[in-house]
Amino acid sequence: MSTSQATDLHALQQRFDVLATERELYNLVQDYAGYHDLCFGKGAGPDDDAKWESLLTPDAVSDLHPLGIHHGRDGKMAWAQKSMGGRGQGCQLMISNVRITLDTTDPTSAIGRAYVLLEVVPEDASKTFTTKGRYIWKFHKFDGVWKVASVKLSPFPEL
């Protein structure tokens, strides 16, 4: 293999690694939404809550309009459920326009943004509510696995 071919192959491998990492983080965002919805359904339980919380670093910070701020991953789902009227009848967290940016100076850090439309149906369906906004994510590779280090939900139109 010539030097030029080796250089091209190395550049291709680097690009592949970037794309694979971006996809891994995109999947993390999708898992966050999927487990979130599951945890607000009647058939869910503490094991489901723990799976959702496991997507976050132990010291994760969640600043979620209109709920407030939660520190850490433990108890985050119980906090969210309490704020939204219990486990409820269901939830749909729709995430779109996801954009992931890797930190070129730190291979264990990345940021992201996504737009969100959330509908929650609590036990009392007459209190169903919808919120929309923008998520700003910070990700950290924790013990070799990408996790959510922080997430901020800003409401529209405060983008």
Domain ranges of the chain: 3-155
Query: Whole-number mean pLDDT of the chain?
Result: 92
Task: State the average pLDDT over residues 95-101.
Answer: 97
Strands of the 68-71 sheet, one edge to the other: 68-71, 56-64, 145-155, 129-142, 109-121, 90-102
Q: Name residues whose C-beta falls within 8 Å of residue 131's C-beta, 6 or more positions apart in sequence.
A: 65, 66, 116, 117, 118, 153, 155
Q: Give burial (CB, 10 Å; 0-12/13-18/19+) of 58.
A: exposed
CA–CA distance, 21 with 101 (Å, rounded to integer): 10
Binning pLDDT at 50, 70 and 90, where does residue 118 land?
very high
Helix ranges (H only) for the chain are 3-39, 46-53, 76-83
Q: What share of the chain is helix, strand, coil (3-state, %, to 5)?
A: 35, 40, 25
CATH class of 3-155: alpha beta
Amino acid residing at 151: V
pTM of the model: 0.90
User: In this structure, which long-range contacts are made by residues 72-76, counting pairs with CB atoms below 8 Å and at least 24 apart in sequence?
Assistant: 76/52
Torsion angle defined by CA atoms of residues 37, 38, 43 and 44, in that order, rounded to the nearest 10 degrees: -120
pLDDT tens-digit readout, 16-29 = 999 999 999 999 99
